[in-house]
A and B are shown apart, each in its own frame.
Chain A
Amino acid sequence: METNVINTPIDPKQIPGWGVDADPKNDPTYPMRARMNVTQDPDSKHRPTLQPLEVEKLRSIERPNVSAVYGTTVPPMGLSGAIRRLAFKYSENRYRHWLPLIVADRVQVVEGILDDLVHGTVPNIWAEKGYDVEWKHNRTAFITKMATIAALTAGTIVWLSSGNKEKGFRRRDNQRRY
């Protein structure tokens, strides 16, 4: 491959395939439907064979039915599932559809850890986060990041602890006064 080492415009005609798909009619506003020569759809009500409904499938309220095929992975369950069912009572047009789904995702992370423990698996967070490769290729930044997180966590704990003592002292002080 020819090396382009500097940021200078180069002669495009030297580039393999230059202009082979150029078409003056390639107007981005040209209707997509014209590409397939679709004029009428005499069988517009036809649907593919329907996949039997074997699992709980949440459905957008913006369509009247379940799609002819669907994924069967991870049906809703537990608290996260309940939140998801609630979200699917609302249109895709609403925050009250999407934000609960994001909350449910986070709840399910905790459920996943509990599920692992119930089944006798202690999640190997270090390995799941791929920290081995971060340690290998990005050690200095990784150590800095971890030290920062540790310092912030420790600082927060110390700050919260000192706040409690002060509140406790004031409470006792108030009790004495009254």
Chain B
Amino acid sequence: MLAMEYRGPKRVRAVQKPMPEIKHPQDAIVRVLRTCICGSDLHLYNGNVPDTRVGSTFGHEFIGEVVEIGSEVTKLKTGDRVIVPFNIACGECHFCRQGMFGNCHESNTEATAVGGIFGYSHTAGGYDGGQAEFARVPYANVGPTIIPEGMDLDDAVLLTDVVPTGYQAAEMAGIQPNDTVVVFGAGPVGIMAARCAWLFGAGRVIIIDKEDYRLEFARNYSYCEAYNFEEIGDPVVFIKKTTDWIGADVVIDAVGAEAAGNAMQTITGRKLLLQAGSATAVHWAINSVKKGGVVSIVGVYGPTDNLIPIGNVLNKGLTIRANQASVKRLLPRLIEHVQNGTLNPKGLITHRIPLAEVADGYRMFSAKLDNCIKPVMIP
């Protein structure tokens, strides 16, 4: 089968690989119908996530049609078309029972902080991902959710990660009616977080990035104010000024390890890998939220150390919430939102790329070429 293969930092290709096999009685094999390149795939692509092994196949955003099931799979049958949450969750462990499907303890042997994730390095379990014609899906009774009849496949594939992550970012922030919400990062997740902030009753939503085309997209898709941090001076001062010098009620970090905007963070975090990625967005979030406010983090950082202003967290009395999205927990509500038109995920998709041209897709998304917001691949 054709599959994406990682060869080193900024080097990927499409190759022929062996078909995936049933390895566990709760496994299913799916034929991939849609798969996306995610902004957090770029952390792998750029070589920032430890234990990203040459020969791996990325791809944690995919939907597919079930073609084979293991002996313990009871909730799916061949021919079913399913949304596959990006996190691999057993549904039985201490954490899954608390709804923390992104923190499953029975899907990742190599690390304990994070559960298993499709195609996201051995730090997240060493699973091949869905940027391929077929994929192995463990715990098929738990994660995969049948695509409702009539749902557009382009909407469905964005329910695997982008929509739940954006929604959970807003949910974790504990938004109260008329709160001012600032989102750092106008990538697909940031744009979705900004849009979901309204669902929780935000009174004002501001998004900040450095790419004008993304800001323009966010302004229209998420109905929010959008500012280029290279044009507003210090973004922390700007946010204070525009909130009567109080600070935002809530700030969402939807950037993660690839943040630009601070030379010291860029050099130590992105270039020298002496910390777990550039923590610029976290810095700005902590320093621009009001005292007693909430910082919600869904941007992905690697292990282990970060230079973040924890003293300000203490002095300002902040609440910080952060996690991988628990897709399984959120899917029923989000499917409702898509079906009744409240959310329009496929509106984020700007590019369709054949799997054979995956290297071009990564370069385009990574270098932000051709006004790319969200690329989808159809194997």
Which A residues form the contact surface with B (CB < 8 A)? 1-5, 7-10, 12, 15-24, 26-29, 32-33, 35-36, 38, 41, 44, 46-49, 51-52, 54, 57-60, 62-63, 66-74, 80, 84, 88, 92-95, 97-98, 101-102, 104-106, 108-109, 111-112, 123-125, 127-134, 137-138
Contact of B8 among A18, A57, A109 (CB under 8 A): A109
Q: List 22 A-B contacts (CB under 8 A).
A: A2-B220, A17-B337, A19-B200, A21-B171, A24-B176, A33-B99, A36-B99, A51-B24, A57-B109, A60-B111, A67-B125, A70-B107, A70-B109, A73-B127, A74-B126, A92-B113, A98-B303, A105-B51, A108-B53, A112-B54, A125-B11, A130-B364
Interface residues in B37-69 by Cβ distance below 8 A to A read 47, 50-57
B319 CB-CB contact with A under 8 Å: yes
In the docked arrangement, what's the CA distance between A28 and B320, Å?
8
Contact of B51 among A23, A93, A104 (CB under 8 A): A104
- B7 to A128, Cβ gap below 8 A? yes
- A35 to B175, Cβ gap below 8 A? no
Contacts of B126 in A (CB 8 A): 57, 70-74
In the docked arrangement, what's the CA distance between A7 and B141, Å?
46
- A102 to B369, Cβ gap below 8 A? no
- A48 to B359, Cβ gap below 8 A? no
In the docked arrangement, what's the CA distance between A27 and B172, Å?
8
Contacts of A127 in B (CB 8 A): 13, 359
CB distance from A57 to the nearest CB of B (A): 5
- B23 to A72, Cβ gap below 8 A? yes
Which B residues form the contact surface with A (CB < 8 A)? 7-13, 23-27, 47, 50-57, 72, 88, 90, 92-94, 97-100, 105-113, 116, 122-123, 125-128, 138-139, 171-178, 198-204, 219-221, 223-227, 273, 294, 296, 302-305, 319, 321, 329, 333, 337, 341-343, 347, 359-364, 367, 369-370
In the docked arrangement, what's the CA distance between A79 and B100, Å?
37
In the docked arrangement, what's the CA distance between A8 and B219, Å?
10
Q: Name the CB-closest residue of A to B106.
A: A68
Contacts of A84 in B (CB 8 A): 51
Known: A41-B97, A67-B116, A128-B11. A49 touches B107 (CB 8 A): no
Known: A9-B225, A60-B109, A67-B109. A102 touches B273 (CB 8 A): yes
Contact of B359 among A5, A29, A128 (CB under 8 A): A128
- B303 to A92, Cβ gap below 8 A? yes
CB distance from A30 to the nearest CB of B (A): 8
Contact of B220 among A3, A24, A51 (CB under 8 A): A3
Contacts of A29 in B (CB 8 A): 174, 319
- B7 to A109, Cβ gap below 8 A? yes
Contacts of B333 in A (CB 8 A): 21
- B24 to A28, Cβ gap below 8 A? no
